[in-house]
Chains A and B, each alone.
Chain A
Amino acid sequence: MDYTLIIGLEIHVQLQTESKMFSASGTDFGLPPNTQTDPVSLGLPGTLPVMNRRAFELALKTAVALNAEIAPFTKWDRKNYYYPDLPKNYQISQYDLPFSRGGWLEVPPRKDGTGGGRCRLVRVHLEEDTGKLIHGNGGWSEVDLNRAGIPLLEIVTEPDLRSAQDARACLEELRLTLRYLGVSDCEMQEGSLRCDANVNIHIEREGKTIATPIVEIKNLNSFRSVERAIEYEGQRQYRAWLADGLTIKDAPKQTRGWDDEEGVTKPQREKETAADYRYFPEPDLVPVVVDAAWLERVRGSIGELPRARRERFEREHQLSAYDAGVLVEQGKEVADYYEAVGEALLARDGSAPGEVRKLAANWVTQDVLRIAKERKLEIGQFPVAAEVLAELLHRVRTRQVNTNQGREILSKLVEGEGTLEAIIAAGGYGMVTDRGALAKTIEEILAANPKALEDLKNGKKKPEAVKGWLRGQVMKATGGKADAVLVGELLEARLASEPGGSG
Chain B
Amino acid sequence: MALTRADVAKVAYLARLRLEPEELERFTGQLNAIVEFVAQLQELDTTGVEPLAHGIEVRNVFREDEREPALDREEALANAPRRNDEAFLVPVVLE
Contact = CB atoms under 8 A, between A and B. Distances in A.
Interface in A129-160: 133-136, 139-145
A140 B91 contact: yes
Contacts of B56: 286
Contacts of B26: none
A34 B86 contact: yes
A327 B55 CA distance: 52
A24 B68 contact: yes
21 contacts: A17-B65, A18-B65, A25-B70, A25-B71, A26-B67, A34-B86, A34-B87, A37-B70, A50-B61, A50-B62, A50-B63, A54-B64, A56-B62, A80-B14, A134-B87, A136-B92, A140-B82, A140-B91, A276-B14, A283-B55, A286-B59
Interface in A4-20: 17-19
Interface in B53-95: 53-56, 58-71, 73, 76-77, 82, 84, 86-95
- Is chain A's interface secondary structure helix, strand, loop, or mixed overall? loop
A269 B93 CA distance: 12
Contact of B88 (A24, A51, A142, A273): A142
B53 A34 contact: no
A281 interface: yes
Nearest to B69: A25
Interface of A: 17-19, 24-26, 32-39, 42, 50-56, 73, 75, 80, 82-84, 97, 133-136, 139-145, 269, 273, 276, 278, 281, 283, 285-289
B70 to A, nearest CB: 4
A288 B53 CA distance: 11
Given A32-B73, A142-B88, A283-B55, 4 more contacts: A37-B70, A281-B54, A288-B60, A289-B59
A394 to B, nearest CB: 44
Contacts of B64: 53-54
A269 B94 contact: yes
Contacts of A83: 93, 95
Contact of A33 (B61, B86, B92): B86
B18 interface: no
B71 A73 contact: no
A26 B87 contact: no
B31 to A, nearest CB: 14
A45 to B, nearest CB: 10
Interface string B43-59: 00000000001111011
Contacts of A32: 73, 86
Given A42-B76, A53-B64, A135 B55 contact: no
Nearest to A85: B95
Contact of A139 (B55, B59, B92): B92
Contacts of A33: 73, 86-87
Nearest to B88: A143
Residue of B60, B65, B73, B84 with most partner-chain A CB within 10 A: B65
Contacts of B77: 34
Contacts of A145: 76, 88
A19 B66 contact: yes
Given A34-B86, A281-B53, A139 B91 contact: yes
A51 B90 contact: no
A98 to B, nearest CB: 13
A303 B43 CA distance: 53
Nearest to A151: B65
B54 A287 contact: yes
What 10 pairs between A and B have smallest CB-CB spacing? A54-B65, A142-B87, A53-B62, A24-B68, A143-B88, A75-B53, A25-B70, A84-B90, A33-B86, A140-B89
A220 B86 CA distance: 28
Contact of A141 (B61, B63, B92): B92
A42 B83 CA distance: 14
Contacts of B70: 25-26, 35-38
A19 B68 contact: yes
Given A50-B61, A286-B56, A18 B66 contact: yes
Given A37-B76, A53-B63, A97 B14 contact: no
A135 B87 CA distance: 12
A19 B65 contact: yes
